[in-house]
Structure 1
Amino acid sequence: MASSPEDNTSLSSEKVVHPESSQAKKSQHAEEATFYMNCRAAYLAVLKSSLENIKSKEQLRLVLQQAGRNPSQKTVDKYWTSQTTMLNFDDFCTILKEEKPATKTELLEAFGKIDKDKTGYILHDELYRILTTRGEKMTEDEVNAIIEQADFNCGGRLDYNKFCDLYMTTREQCCKAARERLELDSRLKQQQFGNQIEPSSEEVTLPVSKPSPRALRKTDHKLLTSKGDSRTPSRPSSAQSFKASISTTISMAARSNRNTKLIEPDTMKEWHCAQSKGCFYLEEDGEIISHKYRLHVPQRSTVCITIKPLNIHQEEGISCHWLSVDTALYILKENETQENLQLVSFTEQQNQEVSSWKGELGSGVYWLLPFTTGCRLKKVKTQITEEAELVYRDEDGELALTPEFRAALLDIFETIDLDGNGLLCLEEYNFFELRTSGEKCDEEAWAVCKENFDMRKNELTRQGFMDLNLMEANDCEGDPSDLWVTLLSLGYNKALEMTEACPFVIDIYAEKCKPRIKAMYLEAGSSQLNRAVCKSVVSKGEAKVLDGYENIIIYTYSTGGRITSVIENKSENKVIIHVNNEQSKNCLSNRGLTVFAVEVAPKSMMVSQHVMPLNEQEEWLYNCVHSLLR
């Protein structure tokens, strides 16, 4: 297929259907079945098996084209960076959900913006200039390919309506050819799909969903919806493909019916208290990063630790998406070095959105590692009908911040004010700078800020923070582009809604001493956290051994709010485990697939999945079958 301006158009939003009727369930089921059938057809048009990995940029481009996409070089580079060595089928599905094909209406609208006179034609020179200089810039060869295939004898002009018809026809032909090949090949129809890259045998890695250029193992974050007894044609479930299976069924009550006893900090009013805020941020590639903390306990004491989403001020009537995001905290003891951390415990008890742990800690240094499953903090495209205004000019012609932008900035200030004293010290401000610009502010630059913006005791006030953003708007002469870069990096969408971040607060109560907590890093989940998650499930969860394969164990750990499964492979060989959630009901998974397969390296363990209720006010059923593939 020839390259097109598809990548210069905005992608239509993906609608997540919450089934409320049998008809809605059938419709959603059919759409998902068609999507995965097309995914498999495209993948198997290039690769021999859906358990085989994409190993080059050219293979990635080919499978995308077989799926009816037409990626520019920039799009390919987005998913295949210098650090990428392979992508698996799950990654491919994730990419297809992100890189949606443009509709004919969207293409015509994009061309219409170029064709100011509405003639239906665009001069080749004008088309070349725009496609190589604007948006996701195309190469000269890519533009020439469009012109060569779609001139239609128009004398140096592109009839873009005919081009759109050609583009849509060619795209459908590619998809149809891939589907027909799949249907005709009985061997390919029986292929399983979905796998994960083999983790290092030296450390346990957590397959948090992330179509990330910085990591190799990635899966999509989407809803795991009720499937009933039906099966999708794209997901083979023949028992003949399996050597052994284990089924785990857990029926969970609605949150309103759960009687989880939570440690109440009010009973410890006389205890010493320390607090710090932080935030989970969702990267563009789906990876979740957060603050990491160092806790110092001066002497042995009974300690209570809680973590919960931070309820910052919001306008009345506006829902706070992040308040439903699950949070947990893993407590690790520092020994000789920071690299040698020992899991102590984690915040296991939960009531509403508060997660807590109470126990005795000896004197020393501990690390607190926040964690969220990714079930609810994930990429969800929403239709933004109108971009929010950030700045305007007042009666005197001076730039000013809009009330909506000021409200968002106050919420941001509240989030990055980690110690909650109403001021930003240099360390707190630098967490903000690293997140939004990737650079730190040094002492000299901070001194300049002190001369120009309101500060108290060498800390930036709320008004100073507002004035700093107003100065940035003035520096750009009212162009909000840089301001949007800041907002988007902090989890806001173009409607000024925080949809891809979750601020949280950690409280520590100690009976006999004053604890001290300090945020140290802002980074993605470390190998230490990955090990901690696996170890916590292995130590607390129910273990089931695959019949006839005593070296393969499935651990399932259940709390009132989530279920996590871990696969341990004690054998000397890599194994492939097929995971089937089709019989689960009212479930939300950090995986995008109801049926998938994972590879587990020898002598290692890895998280199979995290599952939460889709609707917490209703009962939910976790029904998962882990099977060893032949």
Structure 2
Amino acid sequence: MAISLGSDAGFSGQKSTFSEGPRTKKSPLTEEEIFYMNCRAAYLTVFKSSLENIFSKDQLYLALQHAGRSPSQKMLSKYWTPQTTKLNFDDFCMILRNEKPTSKAELLKSFKQLDVNDEGSISHTDLYKFLTKRGEKMTREEVNAVINLADVNADGKFDYIKFCKLYMTTNEQCLKTTLEKLEIDNKLRRQQFGSHMEGYPERDPSPVPKPSPRLIRKGDEETFSSKGDTRNSLLSTTRKFKTSVSFTITMSANSNRNAKLTEPNLIKDWQSVQSKGCFFLEEDGEIISHQYRMQIAQRSMVYLTIKPLKLSQVEGKPSLWLSVDTALYILKENESQTNLQLVCFTELRNREVFGWTGELGPGIYWLIPSTTGCRLRKEVKPVTEEAQLVGRDETGELFLTKEFRSTLSDIFEVIDLDGNGFLSLEEYNFFELRTSGEKCHEDAWAICRENFDTKKNELTRQGFMELNLMEANDREGDPRDLWVTLHSMGYNKALQLTEACPFVINIYAEKCKPRIKPVHMEPCSGQLEKAICKSVLNKGDAKLMDGHENIIVHTYNCETWITSVIENKSDDKVIIHIDNELSRNCVNNRGLDVFAVEVAPKSTMVCQHVMPLNERQEWTHYCVYSLIS
């Protein structure tokens, strides 16, 4: 679960970066409306709806962090007492009104009290005395975590100016990200449900949330009016991180272009088989793809490759998917499909081709394609102009436009998995499941053979065109159903393939004919997540969290991308804060420089993948992983 941390210190008065919606076009948002909108943005980062309740102290903690607060245990205990069972959104708004965010000035003022020489730093000795003797006291372990924070400690001194700058920069970025996410969600709802959606405040222009009776009890009035002192603000800020570790990896320009993948000698004499497939990007950002079973009849040297599939493009149409990274994880089936053992993955590269060479024994293997998601992303700026799919000739007959026919030809190429130039029922059903969610049964396929061009019980390219023309005629030229198909296959309104990446797998075996069969399409998780974790644990560099030896960060550099995995050996879930802000020329699959992940007890999880933004330039991955208290 990815979690953005924090928001701007001037939360209640922040001028929103929210894109203008229907309401803002009528009149500017008031300060009260901005406050309410920011509250919703933070709340909806943790919950699906503002109608959901907070049912635990941990949920309250996360929601407050998204709202730019740094909740201490004292603050949490104030609002979540032993008698509290739940809080609602209005309660949350009331808490934010009373718990003002720590400003940069307040943080600096707290630190400057200890900086008698005005050096911009504090000795570790003075910092230790301050944090353990005054205000809400910290333990020795907690202070050591602060002193060990990367980037803000050197030569026995704590650089509080740099700490404050990083803290405020993180909060500003997270507020912007939180608001942008809310705007994207609102746009999606508007597209799907029109104006009947939960978006900008539609009730009273200046909503004043009313807390539930259980929130304010006798004796709380003084607590609610208390502003707190700056020591507690400092304490909650520094307590956010218990301990941290950092990784720095610098890669030279074009280092991942080195041709380390080479074909075996005499490969032309080996037997081979090929299959195609595709990565599809879902609305929620999840990636799904075809998965395969491979059979090797006898022990043999094997050469496997995967690469993006080149399609015949209309001139001027970009081939964005050709820059998408691909990989193939090979798992051995032992007795059952649920008992799979990781064998290897295609980590060597020659331009866009990733491959592996080695010896495999006889048996059944699963091939699970993977992409990091760094370059297969949702479109930031959706295309507004819609391409024409159908037209009418002089006699009024419907026809498919040249551009649409070219796109359908490319789709045919993608779903023709065995590459024989025809669609079998099995291949067509992968397409049907993707676009409609239902299979085409034998009876329907028989009707299809009778009405459209087929050969040897398989649909030809011309027959596929005829099928789509019939669908357009059935809708009297209305292209909406055709667009459903195109969007499902990853095309935007300009008929550009932007949210899918077709690929081709080639398998060569020296002593036997390999077999490959597409089995299903599934999310790139489950077995794949386990395989990635295992490969990173086996090959990556590991660093322990200081004082928390059960929490380990593993980082693996395969030169093309960098993957980090967090291993939690403890009996409790942990929340890890990840900060990539000091990286250069990098992009990660999370889409955020700063975020957090929750790792379940006794588990491992893929934290992030990182790739160069521009492969022709040097790139440096610098990341700090911090344990949140």
Contact 2:256 2:349 in 1 (8 A): no
Residues 65-464 of structure 1: pairs in structure 2 closer than 5 A: 95-99=181-185, 136=193, 241-255=240-254, 258-264=257-263, 267-464=266-463
What CA distance in whole angstroms lies between the structure 2 residues aligned with 1:545 and 1:250? 18
What CA distance in whole angstroms lies between the structure 1 residues aligned with 2:479 and 2:620? 47
Residue 216 of structure 1 corresponds to none
Match of 1:49 among 51, 61, 84: 61
Q: CA RMSD in A?
A: 4.1
Amino acid at match of 2:193: E
What CA distance in whole angstroms lies between the structure 1 residues aligned with 2:505 and 2:311? 14
Judged with a 3 Å threshold, the aligned counterparts in structure 2 of structure 1 residues 614 and 61 are, in CA distance, closer, same or farther, namely farther
Deviates more, 1:523-532 or 1:477-486: 523-532
Superposed displacement of residue 265, structure 1: 6.4
Superposed displacement of residue 333, structure 1: 0.5
What CA distance in whole angstroms lies between the structure 2 residues aligned with 1:41 and 1:526? 27
Contact 1:50 1:89 in 2 (8 A): no
What CA distance in whole angstroms lies between the structure 2 residues aligned with 1:488 and 1:97? 21
Report the secondary structure of 2:595's partner residue.
strand
Superposed displacement of residue 456, structure 1: 0.5
What CA distance in whole angstroms lies between the structure 1 residues aligned with 2:23 and 2:509? 52
Name the structure, 1 or 2, with higher relative contact order (CA <8 Å, separation 6+). 1
Cα shift readout 1:211-238 (whole Å, capped 9, x = no counterpart): xxxxxxxxxxxxxxxxxxxxxxxxx9x6
Contact 1:250 1:623 in 2 (8 A): yes
Judged with a 3 Å threshold, the aligned counterparts in structure 2 of structure 1 residues 621 and 501 are, in CA distance, closer, same or farther, namely same
Judged with a 3 Å threshold, the aligned counterparts in structure 2 of structure 1 residues 396 and 53 are, in CA distance, closer, same or farther, namely farther
Report the secondary structure of 1:269's partner residue.
helix
Cα shift readout 1:160-207 (whole Å, capped 9, x = no counterpart): xxxxxx6xxx59x99xxxxxx9xx788999699xxxxxxxxxxxxxxx
What CA distance in whole angstroms lies between the structure 1 residues aligned with 2:520 and 2:86? 33
What CA distance in whole angstroms lies between the structure 2 residues aligned with 1:59 and 1:583? 37
Residue 80 of structure 2 corresponds to none
Residue 486 of structure 1 corresponds to 485
What CA distance in whole angstroms lies between the structure 1 residues aligned with 2:436 and 2:328? 27
Contact 1:296 1:516 in 2 (8 A): yes
Deviates more, 1:457-466 or 1:259-268: 259-268
Judged with a 3 Å threshold, the aligned counterparts in structure 2 of structure 1 residues 142 and 253 are, in CA distance, closer, same or farther, namely closer
Superposed displacement of residue 101, structure 1: 7.0
Superposed displacement of residue 629, structure 1: 2.3
Contact 2:256 2:559 in 1 (8 A): no
What CA distance in whole angstroms lies between the structure 2 residues aligned with 1:583 and 1:490? 37
Superposed displacement of residue 546, structure 1: 2.0
Amino acid at match of 1:320: S
Contact 1:556 1:563 in 2 (8 A): yes
What CA distance in whole angstroms lies between the structure 2 residues aligned with 1:302 and 1:430? 33
What CA distance in whole angstroms lies between the structure 2 residues aligned with 1:335 and 1:281? 29
Identical columns (%): 57
Superposed displacement of residue 61, structure 1: 11
Report the secondary structure of 1:99's partner residue.
helix
Amino acid at match of 2:441: D
What CA distance in whole angstroms lies between the structure 2 residues aligned with 1:446 and 1:453? 10
Superposed displacement of residue 52, structure 1: 7.3
Residues 458-537 of structure 1: pairs in structure 2 closer than 5 A: 458-537=457-536
Superposed displacement of residue 597, structure 1: 2.1
Judged with a 3 Å threshold, the aligned counterparts in structure 2 of structure 1 residues 66 and 43 are, in CA distance, closer, same or farther, namely farther
Superposed displacement of residue 347, structure 1: 0.7
Contact 2:589 2:608 in 1 (8 A): yes
Cα shift readout 1:112-164 (whole Å, capped 9, x = no counterpart): xxxxxxxxxxxxxxxxxxx9xx961566x999x96x97xxxxxxxxxxxxxxx
Superposed displacement of residue 356, structure 1: 0.6
Amino acid at match of 2:317: I
What CA distance in whole angstroms lies between the structure 2 residues aligned with 1:37 and 1:619? 40
Judged with a 3 Å threshold, the aligned counterparts in structure 2 of structure 1 residues 283 and 66 are, in CA distance, closer, same or farther, namely farther
Cα shift readout 1:438-462 (whole Å, capped 9, x = no counterpart): 1111111111111100000010000
Judged with a 3 Å threshold, the aligned counterparts in structure 2 of structure 1 residues 53 and 333 are, in CA distance, closer, same or farther, namely farther
Residue 70 of structure 1 corresponds to none
Cα shift readout 1:371-422 (whole Å, capped 9, x = no counterpart): 1111111212324242100000011110000011001000000000000111
Superposed displacement of residue 354, structure 1: 1.2
Amino acid at match of 1:270: D
What CA distance in whole angstroms lies between the structure 1 residues aligned with 2:368 and 2:459? 28
Amino acid at match of 2:184: E
Deviates more, 1:591-600 or 1:317-326: 591-600
What CA distance in whole angstroms lies between the structure 2 residues aligned with 1:513 and 1:189? 71
Runs of 5+ unmatched residues, structure 2: 1-18, 26-36, 67-84, 97-173, 210-223
Cα shift readout 1:590-620 (whole Å, capped 9, x = no counterpart): 1132122222222211111111111111111
Judged with a 3 Å threshold, the aligned counterparts in structure 2 of structure 1 residues 264 and 58 are, in CA distance, closer, same or farther, namely farther
Amino acid at match of 1:345: C
Superposed displacement of residue 240, structure 1: 5.3
Judged with a 3 Å threshold, the aligned counterparts in structure 2 of structure 1 residues 137 and 51 are, in CA distance, closer, same or farther, namely closer
What CA distance in whole angstroms lies between the structure 1 residues aligned with 2:232 and 2:385? 45
Amino acid at match of 1:136: F
TM-score by length of 2: 0.68
Runs of 5+ unmatched residues, structure 1: 1-5, 13-34, 68-87, 103-130, 150-165, 175-180, 193-235
Superposed displacement of residue 243, structure 1: 2.7
Deviates more, 1:319-328 or 1:254-263: 254-263
Amino acid at match of 1:296: Q
Amino acid at match of 1:359: G
Report the secondary structure of 2:337's partner residue.
coil
Judged with a 3 Å threshold, the aligned counterparts in structure 2 of structure 1 residues 137 and 385 are, in CA distance, closer, same or farther, namely closer
Residue 556 of structure 2 corresponds to 557
Amino acid at match of 1:50: L
What CA distance in whole angstroms lies between the structure 2 residues aligned with 1:276 and 1:582? 40
What CA distance in whole angstroms lies between the structure 2 residues aligned with 1:447 and 1:364? 36
Amino acid at match of 1:497: Q
Judged with a 3 Å threshold, the aligned counterparts in structure 2 of structure 1 residues 542 and 11 are, in CA distance, closer, same or farther, namely farther
Cα shift readout 1:77-118 (whole Å, capped 9, x = no counterpart): xxxxxxxxxxx999966841523579xxxxxxxxxxxxxxxx
What CA distance in whole angstroms lies between the structure 2 residues aligned with 1:246 and 1:601? 19
What CA distance in whole angstroms lies between the structure 2 residues aligned with 1:425 and 1:285? 31
Judged with a 3 Å threshold, the aligned counterparts in structure 2 of structure 1 residues 191 and 607 are, in CA distance, closer, same or farther, namely farther
Judged with a 3 Å threshold, the aligned counterparts in structure 2 of structure 1 residues 513 and 256 are, in CA distance, closer, same or farther, namely same
Amino acid at match of 1:49: Y
Judged with a 3 Å threshold, the aligned counterparts in structure 2 of structure 1 residues 369 and 190 are, in CA distance, closer, same or farther, namely farther
Residues 603-622 of structure 1: pairs in structure 2 closer than 5 A: 603-622=602-621
Report the secondary structure of 1:365's partner residue.
strand
What CA distance in whole angstroms lies between the structure 1 residues aligned with 2:23 and 2:306? 38
What CA distance in whole angstroms lies between the structure 2 residues aligned with 1:353 and 1:331? 19
Superposed displacement of residue 360, structure 1: 0.7
Cα shift readout 1:311-368 (whole Å, capped 9, x = no counterpart): 1111233321111111111100011110111111111112222111111110010000
What CA distance in whole angstroms lies between the structure 2 residues aligned with 1:38 and 1:186? 27
Deviates more, 1:480-489 or 1:381-390: 381-390
Residue 119 of structure 1 corresponds to none
What CA distance in whole angstroms lies between the structure 1 residues aligned with 2:564 and 2:523? 21
Judged with a 3 Å threshold, the aligned counterparts in structure 2 of structure 1 residues 557 and 260 are, in CA distance, closer, same or farther, namely farther
Judged with a 3 Å threshold, the aligned counterparts in structure 2 of structure 1 residues 511 and 548 are, in CA distance, closer, same or farther, namely same
Amino acid at match of 1:524: P
Judged with a 3 Å threshold, the aligned counterparts in structure 2 of structure 1 residues 303 and 10 are, in CA distance, closer, same or farther, namely farther
**Corresponding pairs, count:** 478
Residue 565 of structure 2 corresponds to 566
Judged with a 3 Å threshold, the aligned counterparts in structure 2 of structure 1 residues 187 and 499 are, in CA distance, closer, same or farther, namely farther
What CA distance in whole angstroms lies between the structure 1 residues aligned with 2:326 and 2:492? 22
